[in-house]
Amino acid sequence: MSLSLIAKSIKPSPTLALNEKFAILKAKGNPVIHLGGGEPKSKVPMDAILATSAHLNTGEIRYAPADGIPALKQAIIRYTEEFYNRKVEPENVIASGGAKQAIMVALQAILNPQEELIFPVPYWVSYPDMARLCGAIPVPAPAEDGTFYPRLKDIEDRISSYTKAMIINSPNNPSGAMYSEEFIAAVVELCEKKDIYLIMDDIYHRLIFDGRKPINAYKYANNLDENSKLIIINGVSKQYAMTGFRIGWAVANKKLIEAMTNIQAHQTSGPSVLLQKAAVGALNGLQSSVESLRTTLENNRNVMMDMLNSFDGVKITKPDGTFYCFADFSHYEKNSNKLSNFLIEKVQVLTVPGAEFGMEGYLRISYCGSIKDITEGIERIKWALDLNSPNELYIGDRKLVRDWA
């Protein structure tokens, strides 16, 4: 079969593939624990449910404007004022099918073939393939000191005459690292100086711990007029536990939003009106669920840190936010795909290999699930890797015997 060069360059999404694997193993009755997930387990806010069902009950579910219904744009404008202290107009806003589509249409509106997109390492799995979907070139920028906190120089060194845009995701998936105010300020300044688009992927910006406050990139921008190349991405998926609703957005200059709207109009005609209503409900409704999710995640993180600290061979950096821990397991196995498969096969625990995020030897372990799953999952991993632990492990009434050294 003849496929396009772009189609051939794209890999399946490793995280979505893992969800499928989990569903298959579970359906077969396996006692599998998913520590590779990327979604909170809390309930969708009631205001979102009521808003969706009210619209559904009208029986008239029609096409909507490709860039989002006015009520959602208004809710996003209010959100931008509250969290970014910035007044924008409806023409500065586009609602998309998840933050994922908002980023994708932004990149399609910006990138020409062969141009370059820079992002720090470790990075969200989709960034490289999103660049490739535009025929552009992904340029990962690892921190020279091997940490999750790049210095400006690490990024600056990767800028070439082909560099068109940069994506910064903080707090970061997979590391949970929240970059410093100084770093964000310096990146904003650098992008303005070099005339590069800066995409701030803020999807986890309220899910942060230890008293931190969300960072607002606008605060450091000198150019806030309609030529500004700063793009803010956000959405309801993570903070409101609404991953299945697929609503995200971008805030940017009007010309760019218009171009993104034209692209989105031909791709999907915009997100479903029903799901946009749900997002309006969540954004305008009671906000207590966000804080309750945040505190649950902070507690889960602490439990996971305590457990991982008890491993002799695991190196961890305490996550500042998100619901991921990116731990260095290279003491046990340098090939993260091999290690992740080993843990599924031997103890039925799913994790995401670090190689997918640009760092070999690491595993991404999520703490968005229940405390029971977290503790049992990590105990199983410890049993599989720590050869000093007893030779046998019970999963329910199933006895596992270690037959590897």
Residue 38 near ligand PLP by CB under 6 A: yes
Give the CB-side neighbour count of residue 264, counting CA atoms within 13 A.
Answer: 31
Residue 203 near ligand PLP by CB under 6 A: yes
- Name the amino acid, one letter, at 270: G
Residue 100 near ligand PLP by CB under 6 A: yes
Closest CB 265 distance from ligand PLP, rounded Å: 19
Number of residues lying near ligand PLP (CB under 6 A): 13
Residue 201 near ligand PLP by CB under 6 A: yes
Closest CB 395 distance from ligand PLP, rounded Å: 29
Closest CB 204 distance from ligand PLP, rounded Å: 7
Which span (98-106, 216-224, 266-274, 284-292) binds ligand PLP, by CB under 6 A? Answer: 98-106
Write out 137-195 in H/E/C secondary structure: EEEEECCCCCCCCCCHHHHHCCCCCCEEEEEEECCCCCCCCCCCHHHHHHHHHHHHHHC
Percentages helix, strand, coil for the chain (3-state, rounded to 5) are 45, 15, 40
How many CB atoms lie under 10 A from the CB of residue 114?
A: 10
208 in Cβ contact with 76 (< 8 Å): no
Closest CB 125 distance from ligand PLP, rounded Å: 8
Residue 169 near ligand PLP by CB under 6 A: yes
Reference 169, options 222, 111, 99, 116; nearest CA is: 99
Position of minimal CB gap to ligand PLP: 98
129 in Cβ contact with 116 (< 8 Å): no
Residue 98 near ligand PLP by CB under 6 A: yes
Task: State which of residues 171, 248, 281, 377 lies at the interface with ligand PLP (CB under 6 A).
Answer: 248
Binding mask 171-190 for ligand PLP (x = CB under 6 A): --x-----------------
Q: Which residues pair with 97 in a beta bridge?
A: 247
Residue 354 near ligand PLP by CB under 6 A: no
Residue 19 near ligand PLP by CB under 6 A: no
139 in Cβ contact with 128 (< 8 Å): no
61: CB partners within 8 A, 6+ apart: 55, 272, 273, 274
Closest CB 385 distance from ligand PLP, rounded Å: 27
Closest CB 174 distance from ligand PLP, rounded Å: 8
Reference 41, options 372, 325, 319, 293; nearest CA is: 293
Closest CB 129 distance from ligand PLP, rounded Å: 13
Q: Which two tokens stand for residue 43?
A: 């309930």
Binding mask 108-127 for ligand PLP (x = CB under 6 A): ----------------x---
Closest CB 201 distance from ligand PLP, rounded Å: 5
274 in Cβ contact with 52 (< 8 Å): yes
- Residues within the interface to ligand PLP (CB under 6 A): 38, 98-100, 124, 169, 173, 201, 203, 235, 237, 243, 248
